[in-house]
Amino acid sequence: MMSTSPTPASAAESHARIVVVEDERTIARTISDRLSAEGWTVAIAHDGPSGVATIENFKPDAVVLDVMLPGFDGLEVCRRVRGLGEFGVLMLTARDEESDMLVGLGVGADDYMTKPFSMRELVARLKALVRRVRRNASTPEANAPSKIELGDLVIDRDSRRVTRGGNEAHLTPTEYDLLVCLALAPGTVLTREQLLEDVWDWVDATGTRTVDSHVKALRRKLGSDLVRTVHGVGYALEVPEGELA
């Protein structure tokens, strides 16, 4: 099961490398100082093009990425760096609605925070993100099923490939983790808080919007019938129709 890892937090996210791409220099400096105080190594970029170059050279564990940037924006940065390695992207947006919009576009960030945000929350979410990136980089647990087949939905956990009806869906790491979490308990209603804890490794009232946004992305990529909303409770994966093997 995808229970929360018992790994000591201090060890799991130690020596993280973070790139901060933010054109507002005061905010960039404040974030950088706070992360440096955690013992992390931080690089700062102030526009889109240098953001991409910094991410490419610095090999970060995670990127804090502002949406509105000079040169080109955070969406374009996200598109250009996605194939460059295993790192998480936490996007800073101006409004909650902007986060929903970005998920709808399939930009591929792993988490979103709306400005203004608390520095403490940013650190907590980054720690969770780094933990997840490092967990995903290692092989799945030995006792986990390597393949999940539900109707016409197939999840290959060794290659992290997902197909529905034979068509491959290109999911972000977070979308993939969310799908696996739901697929391990098909038909079972999981609350947003449970999903946050299992997939994102943190729970906060504001985070439930993040879950909603990623469910939207899963529906868009895999079909609207796959994930059922249980109003006021949470989400459940419906076993999809499909030829049975």
Binding site for Ca ion (CB under 5 A): 23, 66, 68
Q: Which residue, 62, 20, 15, is CA-closest to 39?
A: 15
Nearer to Ca ion, 65 or 180 (CB): 65
What is the smallest separation between the CB atom of 88 and Ca ion, expressed in angstroms?
20
Q: Compute the radius of gyration of the chain from its Cα atoms.
A: 18
Nearer to Ca ion, 66 or 201 (CB): 66
Tokens of 220: 């868009």
Nearest residue by C-beta to Ca ion? 68
Nearest 5°: CA angle at 65, between 64 and 66? 125
Nearer to Ca ion, 66 or 198 (CB): 66
* 135 contacts 2 by C-beta, under 8 angstroms: no
Q: Which residue, 52, 161, 158, 171, is CA-closest to 110?
A: 171
Tokens of 152: 């016409």
Nearer to Ca ion, 51 or 207 (CB): 51
Q: Phi and psi for 151 in degrees, rounded to 5?
A: 55, -125
What is the smallest separation between the CB atom of 115 and Ca ion, expressed in angstroms?
9
What is the smallest separation between the CB atom of 218 and Ca ion, expressed in angstroms?
29
Sign of CA dihedral 223, 225, 226, 231: positive
What is the smallest separation between the CB atom of 220 and Ca ion, expressed in angstroms?
27
Distance of CA 68 to the CA centre of its chain: 20
What is the smallest separation between the CB atom of 69 and Ca ion, expressed in angstroms?
6
Nearer to Ca ion, 63 or 179 (CB): 63
Nearer to Ca ion, 79 or 161 (CB): 79
Distances (CA, A) of 197 to 41, 60, 192, 203, 208: 26, 24, 9, 6, 11
Nearest 5°: CA angle at 192, between 188 and 196? 110
What is the smallest separation between the CB atom of 46 and Ca ion, expressed in angstroms?
9
Nearer to Ca ion, 92 or 128 (CB): 92
What is the smallest separation between the CB atom of 29 and Ca ion, expressed in angstroms?
14
Tokens of 228: 């059922």
**Spatial CB neighbours of 159, under 8 Å, sequence gap ≥ 6:** none
